[in-house]
């Protein structure tokens, strides 16, 4: 027990030390692959009531770029989420004019090196505060020949002063950004003429003025014009006309045209400004011609299912989510270990039972601490990780297979491998020692972490922007919530009295509890095979074979245990059940002639190009990619996103329940919904970034995007029902 207490006392200190070491550099700077990002301010100090500007300085390597607020034919605009320790309010970004980036037949809009300014105000600071800290959660896409999603957690501390502030060392950088911000032209009216395949913009001066000859129009809203088509500029009777080719899939009237007109000559005789903004309907609502795709990112993070979850609310959701975690499918197999432990301990002294409960809870909570520490430290180093990341490692999955397989055999029999090994096995077999109870808690946590149950999504979403200390508090609440049922049993001996008295039946029950562990081995073996590159249908056939072997093994065990049953009638019933399981298992694992023939056909066609095959429910899913998602959104398609993983049992249950519904499938076809699946079985930075975009740290995540409009995205609950999905599909 001293080991447990020492671990509880010193592990948080170790985690905080590790985190401090991992983030020992400037917190305002993040160095990711091929890019450096820095958070700066234009003032050295802040005075209450003052106006200032923050800036995010992107500095990609030569040949790499990031994207404008409208990324063009592909790409993703940066997303910003601000927080302050007090007094600072941050407004929307001011985007400098971009440049065209041609990628084959596509044209994107972006920057090489750029400073994006943010207007900000500083009101009354907290009492006796000497400084204020602004933190930024940033997501971006940096591209060259390939695209790499990145994220950064930046923090800038600015002193508070009663005297007027002086400009910071970045004054020149802000001045250059100001020169590149589009402005408006005075005393010029704008008219738009729509033709069959063209949109003509006319700038008509109310008095004679200078107009440049070389102009490029950057549309603010995607899906309005063809980005790669030539833009024809003419000057007629003092009016400037720009002919733009309509987007191929755009047939409806353009009710609002807005964007930036850039000219290297400038928009005056002096050559300044270089860019101007135009908006044909500045008084119209944004929804009048809503952009399809990425637009100005929200300043405050909003998490679906728990909008703007505060810290205390996140703690409550974490407690509740941890409690519900005990009934999630991921945890069922390991619960057999603790159930058997309570049965064996039912005759012990109440004090010992309480200590076992505390040791188990310590194993759960400390495991959550370790998980949180590793996750935060790796994120500080720029890794794209999320909830359940350890099961994305084939080495970890293989280790869990060996552990659970060994525990199953320990449940089936006593293994004598020498005095020392026998003593160690005796401690590990059932929680007869405090260390055993502690290890049971750690094992339960390791298997539970891939699950994201109800309320957990909101709690984990909050960790995206909270500090390391607050993150650790939320993970602590998760561990306490998961431990509550066991603590309740340990501290309420009356509950133990309702359990059956110890006796010979316990040996049968102990052996029975081995089979849920073997079921976990089959599940993890499928995960391991998927990570090693085995795809369906071979993966499904392997899984069926292993499940069949498990059922046949369980059938033989039932036949052996039937000999200990005294009642002849019960014996016959057990043997009949064993025979049924034997037949079912054999039928499950034996491939049909159709499957064998299909395997031969696939072998013959291995070198030919094939199209995507329907899944078990006849649905065709496209693999998730940012480029394909942007293309579908530009077409105005409604999209169903399913982020899943082989090791996520909740994901598999959701898919079988929902897509087996004929009503769901019919609505998908009727509404012409595009299906995209993000497979997170192995690490995928782009999928991790997509999860966080919707305020999630892990799977399952199901999202419906209506008519390709990102702002209409609906995040479905973690636990799905056909009715819930049908209700959302009918709204499309």
Higher-pLDDT residue of 705 and 207 is: 705
343 has a pLDDT exceeding 80: no
Q: State which of 158-162, 278-282, 370-374, 518-522 shows the largest mean pLDDT.
A: 158-162
Worst-scoring range by mean pLDDT, 114-123, 258-267, 540-549, 701-710?
A: 540-549
Per-residue tokens: 282: 């500045």
Structure confidence by residue, pLDDT tens digits, 405-414: 876 777 676 5
Higher-pLDDT residue of 629 and 503 is: 629
Q: Which residues, at least 6 apart from 155, have a Cβ–Cβ distance to it below 8 Å?
A: 27, 28, 39, 133, 134, 135, 136
DSSP letters, 427-472, are HHHSS-SHHHHHHHHHHHHHHHTT---TTHHHHHHHTTTS-HHHHH
Q: State which of 10-19, 274-283, 691-700 shows the largest mean pLDDT.
A: 274-283
- With bands split at pLDDT 50, 70 and 90, how would you rate the model's confidence at 189? confident
The whole-number pLDDT of residue 421 equals 33
**pTM of full prediction above 0.75:** no
- With bands split at pLDDT 50, 70 and 90, how would you rate the model's confidence at 675? very high
The whole-number pLDDT of residue 275 equals 94
Helices (H), 235-331: 311-324
Neighbour count for residue 339 (Cβ, 10 Å) = 15
Mean pLDDT of 94-109: 89
Structure confidence by residue, pLDDT tens digits, 538-581: 677 788 888 888 888 888 888 887 777 777 888 888 888 888 88
Q: What SS3 state is found at 240?
A: strand
Listed residue (86, 130, 115) closest to 174, CA to CA = 115
The whole-number pLDDT of residue 247 equals 86
Worst-scoring range by mean pLDDT, 178-192, 390-404, 662-676?
A: 390-404
Per-residue tokens: 513: 């509890």
Mean pLDDT of 293-308: 34
- With bands split at pLDDT 50, 70 and 90, how would you rate the model's confidence at 609? very low
Higher-pLDDT residue of 552 and 283 is: 552
Fold exhibited by the domain 188-289: Immunoglobulin-like (2.60.40)
The whole-number pLDDT of residue 495 equals 65
Percent of the chain surpassing pLDDT 90: 20
The whole-number pLDDT of residue 703 equals 93
Phi-psi region of 215 (alpha: psi -120 to 50; beta: other; left: phi over 0): beta
Higher-pLDDT residue of 588 and 224 is: 224
| Nearest-10 Cα torsion for 399, 386, 516, 404 | 10
Neighbour count for residue 381 (Cβ, 10 Å) = 12
Q: What is the CA radius of gyration of the chain?
A: 31
Structure confidence by residue, pLDDT tens digits, 412-457: 765 433 333 334 434 444 445 777 778 777 777 766 655 554 445 4
Place of tokens 């930075």: 685
302 has a pLDDT exceeding 50: no
The whole-number pLDDT of residue 20 equals 41
Helices (H), 513-537: 514-531
- With bands split at pLDDT 50, 70 and 90, how would you rate the model's confidence at 379? low
Domain spanning 622-730: CATH superfamily: Glutaredoxin (3.40.30.10)
514 has a pLDDT exceeding 80: no
Worst-scoring range by mean pLDDT, 32-36, 388-392, 442-446, 602-606?
A: 602-606
Burial degree of 53 (CB within 10 A; 0-12, 13-18, 19+): buried
User: What are the sequence ranges of the domains in the chain?
Assistant: 20-179, 188-289, 311-502, 622-730
The whole-number pLDDT of residue 684 equals 75
CA angle 192, 195, 200 (to 5 degrees): 35
The whole-number pLDDT of residue 319 equals 78
Mean pLDDT of 700-718: 87
Mean pLDDT of 99-112: 88
Neighbour count for residue 486 (Cβ, 10 Å) = 24
Structure confidence by residue, pLDDT tens digits, 137-161: 999 988 887 778 888 999 999 998 8
The whole-number pLDDT of residue 426 equals 40
298 has a pLDDT exceeding 60: no
239 has a pLDDT exceeding 80: yes
Higher-pLDDT residue of 608 and 177 is: 177
| CA 250 to each of CA 287, 289, 620: distance values in angstroms, whole numbers, following the listed order | 17, 12, 26
Per-residue tokens: 411: 């449940």
Angle between helices 434-448 and 2-22 (to 10 degrees): 40
Q: How far is CA 293 from the centre of its chain?
A: 19
Average pLDDT along the chain: 76
Give φ, ψ of 279 to 5 degrees. -150, 115
CA distance 78 to 183: 22
665 has a pLDDT exceeding 50: yes
489 has a pLDDT exceeding 70: yes
Mean pLDDT of 16-35: 67
- For 20-179, give the CATH class: mainly beta
Kindly state the DSSP code that residue 682 receives in the 8-state scheme: S
- With bands split at pLDDT 50, 70 and 90, how would you rate the model's confidence at 536? low
The whole-number pLDDT of residue 430 equals 42
- With bands split at pLDDT 50, 70 and 90, how would you rate the model's confidence at 54? very high
- With bands split at pLDDT 50, 70 and 90, how would you rate the model's confidence at 668? very high
69 has a pLDDT exceeding 90: yes
The whole-number pLDDT of residue 344 equals 59
Q: What SS3 state is found at 335?
A: helix
Higher-pLDDT residue of 282 and 556 is: 556
The whole-number pLDDT of residue 674 equals 92
Q: What SS3 state is found at 632?
A: helix
- With bands split at pLDDT 50, 70 and 90, how would you rate the model's confidence at 522? confident
Kindly state the DSSP code that residue 205 receives in the 8-state scheme: E
Residues 185 and 267 sit within 8 Å (Cβ to Cβ): yes
Query: Is 188-289's fold the same as 622-730's?
Result: no
| CA 71 to each of CA 80, 93, 108, 291, 369: distance values in angstroms, whole numbers, following the listed order | 15, 15, 6, 12, 39
């Amino acid at each position: 027990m001293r080991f447990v207490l020492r671990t509880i006392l010193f592990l948080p200190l170790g985690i905080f030390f590790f985190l401090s070491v991992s983030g020992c550099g400037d917190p305002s700077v993040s160095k990711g692959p091929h890019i450096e990002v820095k958070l700066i301010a234009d003032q050295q100090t802040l005075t209450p009531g003052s106006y200032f500007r923050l800036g995010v300085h992107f500095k990609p390597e030569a040949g790499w770029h990031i994207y404008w607020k409208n990324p063009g034919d592909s790409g993703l605009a940066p997303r910003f989420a601000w927080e302050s320790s007090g007094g600072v309010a941050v407004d929307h970004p001011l985007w400098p004019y971009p440049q065209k980036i041609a990628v084959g037949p596509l044209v994107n809009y972006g920057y090489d090196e750029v400073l994006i300014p943010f207007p900000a105000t500083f009101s009354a600071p907290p009492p006796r505060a000497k400084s204020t800290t602004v933190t930024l959660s940033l997501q971006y896409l940096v591209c060259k020949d390939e695209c790499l999603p990145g994220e950064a957690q930046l923090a800038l501390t600015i002193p508070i002063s009663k005297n007027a502030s002086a400009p910071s060392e970045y004054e020149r950088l802000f001045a250059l950004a100001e020169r590149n911000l589009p402005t408006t032209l005075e005393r010029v009216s704008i008219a738009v003429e729509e033709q069959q395949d063209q949109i003509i913009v006319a700038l008509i001066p109310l008095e004679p003025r200078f107009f440049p000859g070389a102009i490029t129009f950057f549309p603010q809203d995607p899906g309005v014009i063809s980005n790669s088509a030539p833009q024809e500029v003419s000057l007629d009777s003092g009016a400037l006309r720009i002919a733009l080719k309509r987007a191929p899939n755009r047939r409806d009237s353009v009710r609002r045209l807005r964007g930036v007109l850039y000219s290297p000559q400038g928009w005056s005789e002096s050559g300044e400004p270089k860019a101007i903004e135009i908006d044909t309907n500045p008084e119209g609502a944004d929804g009048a011609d809503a952009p399809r795709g990425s637009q100005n990112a929200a300043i405050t993070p909003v998490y679906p299912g728990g909008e703007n979850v505060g810290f205390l609310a996140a703690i409550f959701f974490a407690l509740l989510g941890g409690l519900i975690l005990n009934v999630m499918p991921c945890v069922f197999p390991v619960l057999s270990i603790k159930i058997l432990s309570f049965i064996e301990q039912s005759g012990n002294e109440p004090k010992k039972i309480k200590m076992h409960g505390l040791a188990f809870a310590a194993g759960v909570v400390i495991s959550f601490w370790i998980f949180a520490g590793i996750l935060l430290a790796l994120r500080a180093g720029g890794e794209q990780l999320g909830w359940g990341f350890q099961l994305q490692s084939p080495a970890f999955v293989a280790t869990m297979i060996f552990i659970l397989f060994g525990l199953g055999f320990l449940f089936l029999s006593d293994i004598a491998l020498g005095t020392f090994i026998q003593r160690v096995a005796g401690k590990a077999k059932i929680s007869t020692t405090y260390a055993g109870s502690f290890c049971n808690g750690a094992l339960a946590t390791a298997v539970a972490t891939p699950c994201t149950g109800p309320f957990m999504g909101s709690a984990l979403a909050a960790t995206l922007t909270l500090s390391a200390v607050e993150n650790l508090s939320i993970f602590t609440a998760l561990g306490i919530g998961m431990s509550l049922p066991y603590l309740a049993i340990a501290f309420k001996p009356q509950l133990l009295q309702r359990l059956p008295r110890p006796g010979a039946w316990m040996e049968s029950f102990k052996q029975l509890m081995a089979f849920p562990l073997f079921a976990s081995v089959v599940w993890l073996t499928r995960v391991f095979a998927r990570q090693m590159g085995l795809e369906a249908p071979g993966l499904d056939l392997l899984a069926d074979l292993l499940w069949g072997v498990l059922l046949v093994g369980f059938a033989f065990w039932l036949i052996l245990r039937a000999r200990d049953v005294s009642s002849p009638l019960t014996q016959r019933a057990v043997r009949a059940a064993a025979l049924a399981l034997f037949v079912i298992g054999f039928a499950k694992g034996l491939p049909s002639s159709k499957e064998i023939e299909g395997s031969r056909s696939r072998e013959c066609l291995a070198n030919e190009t094939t199209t995507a095959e329907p899944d078990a429910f006849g649905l065709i899913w496209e693999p998730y990619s940012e480029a394909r998602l942007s293309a579908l959104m530009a077409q105005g398609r409604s999209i169903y996103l399913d982020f899943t993983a082989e090791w996520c049992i909740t994901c598999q249950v959701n898919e079988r329940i929902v897509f087996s519904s004929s009503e769901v499938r019919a609505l998908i076809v009727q509404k012409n919904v595009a299906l995209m699946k993000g497979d997170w079985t192995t690490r995928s930075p782009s999928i991790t970034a997509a999860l966080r975009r919707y305020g999630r740290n892990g799977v399952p995540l199901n999202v419906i995007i209506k008519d390709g409009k990102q702002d209409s995205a609906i995040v479905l609950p973690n636990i799905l029902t056909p009715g819930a999905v049908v209700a959302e599909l009918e709204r499309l």
